Homo-oligomer: A and B are copies of this chain.
């Protein structure tokens, strides 16, 4: 503490030209936020953390069509308040979360008499701030044309980033210095993904997590993204500075149009001494509003199987009439391979019932799949019309008899007004057929044409769906939306999103590199759970077609560990039933692993290298450990100091077997049982691209 105070005394003279300075410290005083208004009325801020300036003097504000909100302000008032509260998530990695922060509310007014308040919240693990535009006479609308919020770094940190794609976040992460950010390679044909739109070579997405030279970590993120364009970051690679970049509307000059009163989403800066601190941070959830739902009794963890991977590997198709699989997305030769037929769905229901799964996802059940992909067509899908070989009445009866829920699938092909027109009918249809969870999809270019997945219009759509599904007591899992920003707190039925490169890329592309899953928890997962669809036992695609060369870039043991390291209350066992039935001993871990926890501990973590988590099952004394590595084999000694003293536990360890390697030998899993006590140490040996999953009961 003394170090910080001294440091501030030293740098204070730099700010003498400021008209007004206001400082606020975190409860533990390890983080300091300073707001400044300079002589020209330009607002700025900086953030100190553990003796350094994590954010050096940086600008604040906006340009709008109505008025200039980046300068010319007069100071009106400032107020500091304290907040300390503990709240309980409906489901999650922990069963309670403490929201302790000090808040500075600065009120400004500009030359045109527009008011702008900035609300800063300073936590022990970072800072959040948002802009607020109160309602006053004469000013009703703001048309935002640019955001001036900057984030001046103090060094050339190591960053893990994906490009500032307006339409997708399904990219492989790049690790580079800030000064080396360059998104050009993502536009090469062999790498590019469908509908991507990457226009600036130094724009990257948030959350953007970085490691400083001394091992400290910082992440720039967004919380509570509602009624505004998503914030990406424009990197000034020379000056090591980021500037907020708002995804535009179809009019490139217009980023967001809002009615007053209005406040922006939160700009969040996570700060930590180490990588683990980023994983432990609940800052983004704390910046989101509490649940809007009175009744959450119907929301539950859901482990599921489904008609899905068989299409990705080419065994079946989504469409009924054509021959659409992932290798011939628009062919139309007759084939008889439609997966979502009644008999096949019953097979999955039987499997789910037999092994204790909650749900069966069925993709391709509804009309529209013949010609949807890449066409930018409107009115493609019906969400209330099954294909003729899908007997929904019989399947509803059958699933109910077996105690399994069918999970609805709504692929919109990004024709969003068409989906919105059908939404009420579609949700009523789900309720009629006893379904309580839906997976939505937004593959392709958006209709309204000219809109982007990350623009204001779509942001509002995603929230609208969360709201309407909540009203219908439907759990939501959105695929291809903007990356989440913690809204699962406000809409607890919004249990998961995809919004990143999922496991299916391993089935038909260059795949996900072994480090992929060691990066996602540090950025994508900060905003909420991901439906990553792990659990692939048959990792070689040549099994399905001899000429295929694609492989899943992990060992099978790592596929198990992912259930622990990538937390989600909605989790798929993605592989085919027949692949699981061949290895029921290994499959046992997927059956056992819980999806809701009382506490979670990061045992070790290094971005892009490895993560080890230990988590205690909600309300129980059972622990689950997941440990994963990148392409390098690793040895970890995990001390079981979290167990209860004086108690004996049985550990079941699912480790990479002899000679395991993600590429050459993915299958071996050695399963051992061991009696353990508090203080014992478990020695884990992870293969290249491997992992380890442990159940301790």
In the bound complex, residues from chain B placing their C-beta under 8 Å from that of A371 are 140-141, 259
A511 to chain B, nearest CB (A): 30
The CA-CA distance from A405 to B416 in the complex, in Å, is 36
Q: Tell me whether A8 is interfacial, beta carbon within 8 Å.
A: no
Q: Tell me whether A257 is interfacial, beta carbon within 8 Å.
A: yes
The CA-CA distance from A371 to B416 in the complex, in Å, is 26
| A448-B332 in contact given A140-B371, A375-B141, A420-B421 (Cβ < 8 Å) | no
Interface string of A457-481 (1 = CB under 8 A from B): 1001000100000000000000000
Q: Tell me whether A254 is interfacial, beta carbon within 8 Å.
A: yes
**A351-409 CB contacts (< 8 Å) to partner B:** 370-371, 375-380
Q: Tell me whether A449 is interfacial, beta carbon within 8 Å.
A: yes
Chain B, residue nearest A421 (CB): B420
The CA-CA distance from A161 to B349 in the complex, in Å, is 65
The CA-CA distance from A147 to B376 in the complex, in Å, is 20
**Out of B258, B332, B450, B464, which one reaches A251, CB within 8 Å?**
B450
In the bound complex, residues from chain B placing their C-beta under 8 Å from that of A376 are 143, 254, 257
Chain B, residue nearest A451 (CB): B448
Q: Tell me whether A138 is interfacial, beta carbon within 8 Å.
A: yes
Interface string of A244-266 (1 = CB under 8 A from B): 00000111001001110000000
Q: Is the CB of B141 within 8 A of A250?
A: no
| A378-B257 in contact given A140-B371, A420-B420 (Cβ < 8 Å) | yes
In the bound complex, residues from chain B placing their C-beta under 8 Å from that of A450 are 249-251, 448-451
**Out of B332, B379, B423, B449, which one reaches A451, CB within 8 Å?**
B449
A384 to chain B, nearest CB (A): 14
The CA-CA distance from A138 to B424 in the complex, in Å, is 34
The CA-CA distance from A140 to B369 in the complex, in Å, is 12
Q: Is the CB of A141 within 8 A of B257?
A: no
* A contact patch SS: loop
Chain B, residue nearest A376 (CB): B257
In the bound complex, residues from chain B placing their C-beta under 8 Å from that of A457 are 378, 447-449
The CA-CA distance from A423 to B417 in the complex, in Å, is 13
Q: Is the CB of A377 within 8 A of B259?
A: yes
In the bound complex, residues from chain B placing their C-beta under 8 Å from that of A375 are 140-141, 143, 257
Q: Tell me whether A330 is interfacial, beta carbon within 8 Å.
A: yes
**A257-280 CB contacts (< 8 Å) to partner B:** 257-259
| A250-B377 in contact given A140-B330, A259-B371, A371-B140 (Cβ < 8 Å) | no
Q: Tell me whether A190 is interfacial, beta carbon within 8 Å.
A: no
Q: Tell me whether A578 is interfacial, beta carbon within 8 Å.
A: no
Q: Is the CB of A137 within 8 A of B332?
A: yes
Q: Is the CB of B460 within 8 A of A378?
A: yes
| A417-B448 in contact given A257-B378, A376-B254, A424-B424 (Cβ < 8 Å) | yes
In the bound complex, residues from chain B placing their C-beta under 8 Å from that of A140 are 330, 332, 370-371, 375
Q: Is the CB of A141 within 8 A of B377?
A: yes
Task: Bin chain A's interface residue count.
Answer: 35 or more
Q: Is the CB of A254 within 8 A of B332?
A: no
The CA-CA distance from A447 to B451 in the complex, in Å, is 10
A265 to chain B, nearest CB (A): 17
Interface string of A411-423 (1 = CB under 8 A from B): 0000011001101
In the bound complex, residues from chain B placing their C-beta under 8 Å from that of A251 are 449-450
In the bound complex, residues from chain B placing their C-beta under 8 Å from that of A460 are 378-379
Chain B, residue nearest A141 (CB): B375
Chain B, residue nearest A250 (CB): B450
A144 to chain B, nearest CB (A): 12
Chain B, residue nearest A424 (CB): B424
The CA-CA distance from A423 to B421 in the complex, in Å, is 9
The CA-CA distance from A141 to B378 in the complex, in Å, is 11
**A121-140 CB contacts (< 8 Å) to partner B:** 137-138, 140
Q: Is the CB of A138 within 8 A of B449?
A: no
The CA-CA distance from A448 to B259 in the complex, in Å, is 17
**Out of B258, B332, B417, which one reaches A420, CB within 8 Å?**
B417
**A331-353 CB contacts (< 8 Å) to partner B:** 332
**A425-457 CB contacts (< 8 Å) to partner B:** 447-451, 457
The CA-CA distance from A259 to B370 in the complex, in Å, is 11
The CA-CA distance from A259 to B258 in the complex, in Å, is 36
The CA-CA distance from A450 to B449 in the complex, in Å, is 7
| A138-B417 in contact given A371-B259, A460-B378 (Cβ < 8 Å) | no
A313 to chain B, nearest CB (A): 25
In the bound complex, residues from chain B placing their C-beta under 8 Å from that of A447 are 448, 457
The CA-CA distance from A378 to B455 in the complex, in Å, is 13
24 contacts across the A-B interface (CB closer than 8 A) = A137-B332, A140-B330, A140-B332, A140-B370, A140-B371, A143-B375, A143-B376, A249-B450, A250-B449, A254-B376, A257-B375, A257-B376, A257-B377, A258-B377, A259-B377, A259-B380, A378-B457, A379-B460, A417-B417, A417-B448, A421-B421, A421-B464, A448-B450, A449-B450
- For the complex with contacts A143-B375, A447-B448, A447-B457, 7 further pairs of A-B residues with Cβ separation under 8 Å are A251-B449, A254-B376, A257-B376, A421-B421, A424-B424, A448-B449, A448-B457
The 6 closest A-B pairs by CB, nearest first: A448-B448, A250-B450, A450-B450, A140-B371, A250-B449, A417-B417
